[in-house]
């Protein structure tokens, strides 16, 4: 009995396969034994005879293959909040395999480069990144073992750099590389396949990549400060006893959100704060650190504006001091 091996890719025809054998998308599963016996019939003077050959046994090698698909249909916004980029990894080989997963934010042509925070596998298969539920890997770490034709989703979570400008674009690459082996198509890894069969690198080279796109969603803030002086004599001279009303205007632009925006100002030397004079957009605030946005201390004022979207109406803070 002869034992041979054969590599069977999708759509390939193996000599000796019986007609009607189903062809799977990944080819015949690695380790499958394909058996074939020839028959001959003939007639002699003593009557018809039938003889069979020895059975030929072919053991299918593992063909290594992987494909990566980016799942975004439009650039994902990144700004004050991290962005979650989804990808799909498919085992296109004919044997179970696992894949090293590497996220790379530094892609040629990017106008900004994000910081990779997390590489995660969609453990519950709901298509949504669930912190504390989905499996987190070190960058370059291996996935679970995946059956032929099986797919799984990978999330790359990235943060925007401080220097990104609104509407700039960027890309992040996910690379999946077969743990069994990779390299030039046709490269043989003896005994490394499923059940100890040989493994052969397929057309993918054992590596797949895809790019997801990002757009910076950033808010910019500018402050403008002005002062109005009223002196005790009805004029506008900065003399002792004059009241100075400071106005601070916070202007936001861009498509993002300025998170935790707070306006602070110190009382100038040579002046005394006039208690109860803090306002926000014309509405009075208390000096105490209580439920409203304002507070005054011995040295200055602070007004918490919260999360302010770019393009929102200006926020105006005022307070008064007296020149000593």
Domains and CATH numbers, the chain: 2-62 (no CATH), 64-183+200-217 (2.60.40.10), 219-323 (2.60.40)
Structure tokens at 59: 């053991």
Task: Classify strands 219-230 and 207-217 as parallel, antiparallel or unpaired.
Answer: unpaired
- Does 20 have pLDDT greater than 50? no
Least confident of 22-26, 27-31, 215-219: 22-26
Q: What are phi and psi of 238, to 5 degrees?
A: -80, 75
Of all residues in the chain, the percent with pLDDT exceeding 70 is: 92
pLDDT of residue 155: 98
Query: 58 pairs with which residues across the strands?
Result: 4, 34
C-beta separation of 316 from 283 below 8 A: no
Using one digit for the tens of pLDDT, what is the confidence trace for 274-324? 999 999 999 999 999 999 999 999 999 999 999 998 889 999 999 999 999
Q: For residue 27, name the pLDDT band (cuts at 50, 70, 90).
A: confident
C-beta separation of 304 from 293 below 8 A: yes
pLDDT of residue 220: 85
Cα R_g (the chain), whole angstroms: 35
Mean pLDDT computed over 54-67 = 94
Using one digit for the tens of pLDDT, what is the confidence trace for 179-222? 999 999 999 999 999 999 999 999 999 999 999 999 999 888 99
- Does 9 have pLDDT greater than 50? no
- Does 25 have pLDDT greater than 80? no
d(CA 161, CA 56): 63
pLDDT of residue 181: 98
Burial of 136 (0-12, 13-18, 19+ CB in 10 A): middle
Q: For residue 26, name the pLDDT band (cuts at 50, 70, 90).
A: low
Mean pLDDT computed over 38-61 = 91
d(CA 29, CA 292): 68
- Does 23 have pLDDT greater than 70? no
Using one digit for the tens of pLDDT, what is the confidence trace for 222-277? 999 999 999 999 999 999 999 999 999 999 988 888 889 999 999 999 999 999 99
What is each CA distance from 6 to 13, 28, 54, 154, 180, in whole angstroms? 11, 10, 18, 33, 18
Instruction: Please list, in sequence order, all residues whose beta carbon lies within 8 angstroms of the beta carbon of residue 295, skipping any fewer than 6 positions away.
Output: 286, 287, 288, 289, 301, 302, 303
Q: What is the torsion angle, in degrees rounded to the nearest 10, for the CA atoms of residue 20, residue 26, residue 29 and residue 31? A: 120
Helices and strands counted in the chain (H then E)? 0, 26
Task: Classify strands 2-6 and 56-60 as parallel, antiparallel or unpaired.
Answer: parallel
d(CA 230, CA 212): 59
pLDDT of residue 258: 85
pLDDT of residue 227: 97
Q: DSSP character for 75?
A: P
C-beta separation of 300 from 265 below 8 A: yes
Lookup result for tokens 């690379």: 175
Q: For residue 13, name the pLDDT band (cuts at 50, 70, 90).
A: very low
Helix residue spans in 110-165 (DSSP H)? none
Length of the chain: 324
C-beta separation of 163 from 112 below 8 A: yes
Mean pLDDT computed over 9-27 = 39
pTM of the model as a whole: 0.73
Using one digit for the tens of pLDDT, what is the confidence trace for 122-164? 999 999 999 999 999 999 999 999 999 999 999 999 999 988 8
Structure tokens at 97: 């395999």
Structure tokens at 278: 């803090």
C-beta separation of 173 from 106 below 8 A: no
pLDDT of residue 4: 43
């Amino acid at each position: 009995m002869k034992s041979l091996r054969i590599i069977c890719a999708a759509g390939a025809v193996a000599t000796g396969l019986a007609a009607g054998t189903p062809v799977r998308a990944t080819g015949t599963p690695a380790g499958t034994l394909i058996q074939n016996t020839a028959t001959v019939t003939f007639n002699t003077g003593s009557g018809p005879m039938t003889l069979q050959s020895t059975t030929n046994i072919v053991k299918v090698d593992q063909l290594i293959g992987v494909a990566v698909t980016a799942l975004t249909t439009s650039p994902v916004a990144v700004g004050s909040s991290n962005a979650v980029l989804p990808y799909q990894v498919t085992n296109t080989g004919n044997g179970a395999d696992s894949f090293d997963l590497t996220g790379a934010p530094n892609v040629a042509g990017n106008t900004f480069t994000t910081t990779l925070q997390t590489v995660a596998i969609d453990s519950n298969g709901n298509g949504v990144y669930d912190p504390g539920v989905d499996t987190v890997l070190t960058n370059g770490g291996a996935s679970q073992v995946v059956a032929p034709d099986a797919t799984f989703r990978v999330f790359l979570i990235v943060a925007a750099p401080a220097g990104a400008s609104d509407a700039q674009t960027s890309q992040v690459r996910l690379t999946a590389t077969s743990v069994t082996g990779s390299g030039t198509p046709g490269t043989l890894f003896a005994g490394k396949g499923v059940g100890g069969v040989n493994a052969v690198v397929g057309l993918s080279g054992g590596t797949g990549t895809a790019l997801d796109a990002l757009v910076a969603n950033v808010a910019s803030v500018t402050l403008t400060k002005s002062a109005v002086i009223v002196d005790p004599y009805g004029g506008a001279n900065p003399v002792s006893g004059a009241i100075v009303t400071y106005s601070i205007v916070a202007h936001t632009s861009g498509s993002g959100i300025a998170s935790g925006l707070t306006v602070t100002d110190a009382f100038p030397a040579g002046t005394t704060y006039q208690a109860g004079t803090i306002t926000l957009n014309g509405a009075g605030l208390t000096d105490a650190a209580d439920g409203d946005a304002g507070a005054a201390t011995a040295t200055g004022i602070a007004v918490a504006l919260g999360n302010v979207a770019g393009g929102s109406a200006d926020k105006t803070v005022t307070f008064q001091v007296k020149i000593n």
